Amino acid sequence: MTRAVTKPVARPVTGMLWIALAATLMSACGSGGGSAADDPTAGHEPGRAAQNAQPADVLAGPPAPGNPLAGKPFFVDSSGPAVVQVAQWEAQRKADADQIRKIADRPVALWIGGGSGAVDAKVDAIIGRAAAKGQLPILVAYNIPHRDCGNFSAGGAASADEYRAWIRSFAAGIKGRPAVVILEPDAVPHAVEGCADGPDRLALLADAVGVLKAAGSASVYIDAGHSHWITDVKRLASALQKAGVASADGFALNVSNFIVTSENLSYGNRVSDALGGKAHFVIDTSRNGAGPLPGTGDVNGGPRWCNPPGRLLGQAPTADTGQQRLDALLWIKRPGESDGACRPGEPEAGQWWPDYALDLAKRS
């Protein structure tokens, strides 16, 4: 995949700095306005990482009318790897444990792939834990055939029929309870680039949207890459239309990447304009607090988007964005989980990496 994302805890912007940021955003946007085995989450778009690091930016304000995520606290999983790490370090490494709490205490998405076990039971268990806490879970459905085009997060269903059965089992686990579903990171941008498992990938996604929305309680956002990937927004919008975005709640940007929020906001509004001006979207801010790693070329023999050093957590998840079409900032990539074994000694995609997590947290 071309993903790589974690979210930093952004510092508040006040005074003249906030005024300057607001002006920048207005100018940019114009008038528009699980387990590692099951859930590998690698970095997106090899060879296309953004080049210029930018300071963290913060969005704040009331949610727009009609935002389906407004007023709903997001699910904080008390059994995630960051929570386990805090417990392990609490006695002997308390200062480090306190740093990891910056991740453990935040709501992050739970990735659900193929793997072993019935997917409906997995979805049911997650939503059940969230419902018991009165919180809204963020789920990532990640099992498209020829997933990640065979890169670091390779896998997925073996056929279109297997995927159709899988997504129906996924939807069955929702059982009428509220949930957010981020649908198939990378699948649409890869289809635009011509890397897909046959000509029916977009039709599979459109079917998945219909199945998930028929559950009656899920907010569904189709992954659309990020602003440095598919730069032709008309081509991207056309693919999203074929993937069923009109029946979804919108699209998702920056999953597992590092592009700063203001740039994704501008890009998202452009994509929405190309879709007729009404499409909403969410942005992954999990690791975009310092922007992408600057420069060009590989780093120590691996792509720049994969486990880059010196990154920061981004703005905490919120639906209070103050933007008409931006429904939420979410931590979709799970901070501290590897983007892939891009260099010797690096964990496989989706595996918890304590040292990387600690570096993210300490810098944020």
Q: In this predicted structure, what is the pLDDT of residue 152? A: 80
pTM, two decimals, is 0.86
pLDDT at 196: 66
Contacts from 299-305 at CB under 8 Å and sequence distance 24+?
A: 300/343, 301/343, 302/342, 302/343, 302/346, 303/43, 303/46, 303/47, 303/49, 303/342, 304/49, 305/2, 305/3, 305/4, 305/43, 305/44, 305/45, 305/46, 305/48, 305/49, 305/257, 305/258, 305/339
Q: What is the mean pLDDT of residues 66-91?
A: 96
pLDDT given for residue 54 in this prediction: 40
**CATH label of the domain that carries residue 277:** 3.20.20.40
**Taking 70 as the threshold, does the pLDDT of residue 48 lie above it?**
no
pLDDT at 236 (0 to 100):
98
Q: Given a cut of 60, is residue 29 above it in pLDDT?
A: no
**Per the structure, how many domains does the chain have?**
1
148: annotated active-site residue: yes
Both tokens assigned to 356: 């990387």
Range of the domain at 357: 2-363
Of residues 196 and 179, more confidently modeled: 179
Check 39, 96, 148, 249 and give the catalytic one.
148
pLDDT score at 197:
60
Tell me the pLDDT tens digit for each residue of 79-104: 999 999 999 999 999 999 999 999 99
